[in-house]
Structure 1
């Protein structure tokens, strides 16, 4: 099973930002009936991150026969899930959940999860046979929906502690020593990735990006040069040391879903490896966000469509992956580049407004009948999983 990231939907609304307008700090999207002002940087970051998810899934079957594919795969997986965790945390609230927020948990997470889990159960039963519906074991990309639900659930409790980020790191490192915390309801991955969600939430509390929006051009250039150097160093490491990374099975560590014993490293120091990878992911995620343009660019408008891309791209790639066409000679680097191009095209296509409108019945089904009448109908939905993701 391939691993992925978190989404955002077409329900998000708000005034467009001119390319020439100065970036502004995000508003807190908690007031009923009021949509938040969209921030170009975050929409761009969402779309780039979800496109990295699609690329990773597109080339995954080529990694067995191509070091180039494995190097790119390792490069992406080191930070793209942590990046979604940070974005999710940044737009999350530690306040006591209101009725509207609890309702959105159902409409944004639970309902899409059940619908897509059912569809994938049928698809895999037809193609692979013997598949039974099991809502406790998320299929393919759906794990992030459950992880996001867990993040939201525990955030108010962590927020009342001293040093919440410290405790999140302790949980992330410690959970790897237990074989009893597994993929059931994505609990293992949720705990492992919790520090990134907490980092995102604390970044909002600290107001660091508010300062970044207002930073001078000279400061931005210097910071981005440093961020570019970080990315270049990681890219070089992936190219030069991919045989060693493959021997250590490093890319599986970036899935954050196995115990250390399951990864073949049950020694006492295995937690130190997890801690080191968390720190690496943190540096790469920071570099990624700092390299994202602060102003509107041509892909910014697709940032509201990450839920559509995230949930639908698997239906496009599944037949290609299962056909076996990506094995053997089709793992050579020209075909890897071809699949990267295909992945980018798929991401752009699924982010188009007409696709989102056509698939709204599936991705955003109307479930008003599910709620009591005394639960207020929410106003414009400020964010969906990838927008808290």
Structure 2
């Protein structure tokens, strides 16, 4: 998402400056905030890493500890970023169309691809759009997030209400993975928090988008170090209580804790931990522009495509019984970064753009809704100039 930096308003008694030509000054170009692109790319690397090391966790306690650390915060952080760039205003027709073109249509396309893949490889398939395959649940979550945000924004304490909702749904076994509703409502507080921070300009007021104090970075590193040690040192305890399943925000407390009354308190504690780790994560994200920063504009390509890259390794058993861990785990970490970078490169985007960013004019009564945009953006809110305007065949909307 782009950001603008406006000068303070001049006093009312001071007339606005008039250019020497007498023409109306052009609006100032919006400036990207590198922090968000850096954070998006870091988040998507963690997504790939979490999926890549999953098979290693069966045979390595170190890998399981890292897995738990990643899953403790990476999707809450992604939801927070998405909420930061979401608006609660009444949507325009184009914005409503974008939910279909950016979320719903890609979901249907990739759900169809996964159904075909499972049928070809495993000899079985379940073509059920209400049960998202693997990573596709987050697309449905983003769609639901956007639909309910404008109603949450009407409430006096939207954050409090979403926390209550997140905790309460765990007590309702009928709210399950259908349409990814359980995970969506479970992560709703983080999405709403992102919107709330932007709506109230909290980060701008505290100048957190540009500055990183050394003691904040030190505290963030210490936070991850302590949490990582806890994840590893008590790993047998976490295995015994199936902490991994708790971090998915998917199963009910009846499945996780036999319906115990304290299930909601566990979720509340995990939400607090996710928030602390997310804050530490953002504190460590570089504020400047780097060679890899622009990859953060294409996270949806990585998100939708990386599972097809990992699928053969996960299902073939190649990632099982790899020993010693101190060699294979770093290799998998490096491979995860390379996969994320590779899937965000221009050749991959060019080939898969019709699948990841479809613009089906035939779907709409007004065909121009499919391509009426001057900038592309992915569902997490990253806006960017169109790389090749001639591809659209239409003039950008003023």
Q: What is the TM-score normalised by the length of structure 1? A: 0.88
Contact 1:65 1:331 (8 Å CA) reproduced = no
Tell me whether 322-331 or 45-54 shows the greater mean CA deviation.
Answer: 322-331
Corresponding residue for residue 262 of structure 2: 269
**Aligned pair in 2 of structure 1 residues 176, 305: CA closer, same or farther (>3 Å)?**
same
Corresponding residue for residue 230 of structure 2: 237
Moved over 6 A (4+): none
Tell me whether 301-310 or 356-365 shows the greater mean CA deviation.
Answer: 356-365
Structure index of larger Rg: 2
Deviations 1:277-322 (A, max 9, x none): 0011011111111211111123211101101111111111100111
**Aligned pair in 2 of structure 1 residues 331, 141: CA closer, same or farther (>3 Å)?**
farther
Equivalent position to 1:369, from 325, 342, 362 = 362
Corresponding residue for residue 63 of structure 1: 57
Q: Does 1:193 align with 2:187?
A: yes
Distance 2:113 2:32 in 1: 32
**Aligned pair in 2 of structure 1 residues 171, 223: CA closer, same or farther (>3 Å)?**
same
**Aligned pair in 2 of structure 1 residues 330, 123: CA closer, same or farther (>3 Å)?**
farther
Distance 2:326 2:4 in 1: 42
Structure 2 gap ranges (5+): 7-27, 384-398
Equivalent position to 1:227, from 220, 228, 250 = 220
Equivalent position to 1:352, from 345, 349, 352 = 345
Q: Does 1:327 align with 2:320?
A: yes
Equivalent position to 2:48, from 48, 54, 63 = 54
Corresponding residue for residue 158 of structure 2: 164
Q: What is the TM-score normalised by the length of structure 2? A: 0.86
Q: Does 1:92 align with 2:124?
A: no
Equivalent position to 1:249, from 239, 242, 254 = 242
1:35 shift after superposition: 9.3
1:220 shift after superposition: 1.9
Q: How many pairs does the alignment contain?
A: 361
Contact 2:79 2:191 (8 Å CA) reproduced = yes
Corresponding residue for residue 303 of structure 1: 296
Contact 2:257 2:263 (8 Å CA) reproduced = no
Distance 1:248 1:286 in 2: 26
3-state SS in 1 of match to 2:377: coil
Trace 1:284-303 onto structure 2 (pairs within 5 A): 284-303=277-296
Distance 1:92 1:52 in 2: 22
Q: Does 1:176 align with 2:134?
A: no
Q: Higher relative contact order at CA 8 Å, sep ≥6: structure 1 or structure 2?
A: 1
Corresponding residue for residue 150 of structure 1: 144
1:374 shift after superposition: 7.7
Contact 2:298 2:378 (8 Å CA) reproduced = no
